[in-house]
Amino acid sequence: MFGEENRELCYMVNSWIDAPSRELGTDHRLKRHDYISTPSEACEIYGDGKAQPTPKNILIARMVLQHLKLDGIITPKQEAKWKWEEAVKRSTYSSAIVTERFYDYLLPSKNELESIERDKCLFKTILIYDPEYRDIRYWIKVINYICSKATEKYGEENLNARYSRDPFFDFMMRYGIENKLVNISFVDGAFSRNALRRSIQTAMEFLAEKRSSIPFKPSNKYMLRFVRFGEFPTIHPGLFNISDGVLITSFNSQDYGIIGKLLGKKGIRSVEKYASIRKENKELKDYAIFIGKEFSGLVSLSLSDRKYLYELFEKREEERQELKDKESAYGLKKEAQQTVQSEETPKQTIISQEPHSRPLRSSIIRNLGALLIQNIQVLIGAFSLGFLIGVVIPGIMFAMEMTPPEGGVGLEGVIGIFLGGLVGGVILTIIVLVILLGERHS
């Protein structure tokens, strides 16, 4: 069909198309058998490059199409309708889509994680630049989808996923890690201009964890972390160097300054390239741009409504139910044991402590402590205001009642003023704390 003079070329092209069969066997058609991209790939290797429709390129493209037709991948009608210009255009943006590779990069195989030597842990950090600063619920759904793929690979029992609405990196390190194979975390609103210098320093330390560092818990083998910038972020020098990639949802002229500081001139060119492809193809308008250390491209972000990602200090409903079931089962078992032992040894008294009372009490104390730390400035302000009210109103009245006959406030009056202020400060602080607890519970 292609002439005797092209026999050798035809053999090389067809051999190249089927080469993956040496490794993949019958699954080799998953590679180099794509109607859109394979013709231009073959032209780049055996022809005059994939850009121009030269006679040799057209010939090679027809060889590829015939191969796909004989394999039953395309129909004769599709082969006849194929056009170079349309194929090149579609191939350009098709090669720019890296969605499948992105998810595979985020979630290594379970065998790979289990082969990591003892007392070592793999870390990956993905930064999220979202200029529109859309609702956090959108990003929770995005990461829920990633968690759903993680459960398919590792099993739900091997996954812990937590998020924080505030950039409390130290809390995430302390309370957000469980003794499981994989821990996924999402910290929102990082590096905002209003962030304290200490919190930014803590964030940098959190993100700079080395891949060879000792894990937080014995079973930990993989820490996948997502960090979304706050509004009007302050970009710390070297931030991209300690991360593994950046997801960019939109890119306009006003974003050049931030992207430039984050990725440099080379990164700006890559973002411009993918932003242009996205603009020229309306079907790609919702794709995010991923700029990574190993690869870059356009990513279709999927959403999941199933809840895998829990708030940092949120007590899971199923954990509460499991606790109740265990306590109930333990109570029945203990009652049966008491009955048997009372029959055998009537004088013996069994004293036992509920097994979960300490963990439950420590969990309440830990959550209360976290609430106090998070709202320390509010509580200090409430105490100060209450102290002032206590000094001005009941404190002075108390002092007047205790004024000695010779005049003056006296020591008792000073003590009365101080006690009035102290009582007022404590009362107002307790009221504010109750309100905060009510909001957290709701």
d(CA 301, CA 307): 17
d(CA 313, CA 301): 27
d(CA 411, CA 399): 9
pLDDT (0 to 100) of residue 248: 93
Cα–Cα distances (Å) from 30 to 17, 24, 80, 260, 418, in that order, read 11, 9, 23, 38, 79
pLDDT (0 to 100) of residue 106: 95
CB of 48 closer than 8 Å to CB of 57: yes
Question: How is residue 238 annotated by DSSP?
Answer: T
pLDDT (0 to 100) of residue 7: 86
Long-range Cβ contacts of 91-95 (<8 Å, 24+ apart): 91/36, 91/37, 91/39, 91/40, 91/50, 92/277, 93/277, 93/280, 93/281, 93/284, 93/298, 94/34, 94/36, 94/37, 95/37
pLDDT (0 to 100) of residue 292: 92
In this structure, the number of other CB atoms found within 10 A of the CB of residue 177 comes to 17
pLDDT (0 to 100) of residue 348: 35
d(CA 236, CA 238): 6
Q: How far apart are the first and last CA of the chain?
A: 74
Spell out the per-residue pLDDT of the chain, length 442, in tens.
777 788 889 889 889 888 877 776 766 666 777 777 788 788 888 988 766 788 888 888 889 888 988 888 888 888 888 887 777 666 666 778 889 899 999 999 999 998 888 878 888 999 999 988 888 999 999 999 999 999 999 999 999 999 988 776 777 777 788 889 999 999 888 776 655 555 556 666 666 664 444 456 778 889 999 999 876 677 776 777 778 899 999 888 778 888 888 888 888 899 998 998 888 888 888 999 999 988 999 999 999 999 999 988 775 455 445 545 655 655 555 555 554 444 444 333 233 333 334 444 555 555 566 666 667 777 788 788 877 877 776 556 655 555 554 555 567 777 777 787 788 888 888 888 788 777 655 5
Q: Which of 171, 177, 168, 158 is nearest to 216 (CA)?
A: 177
DSSP string covering 420-436? HHHHHHHHHHHHHHHHH
CB of 252 closer than 8 Å to CB of 291: no
The angle formed by the CA atoms of residues 383, 440 and 168, to the nearest 5 degrees, is 80
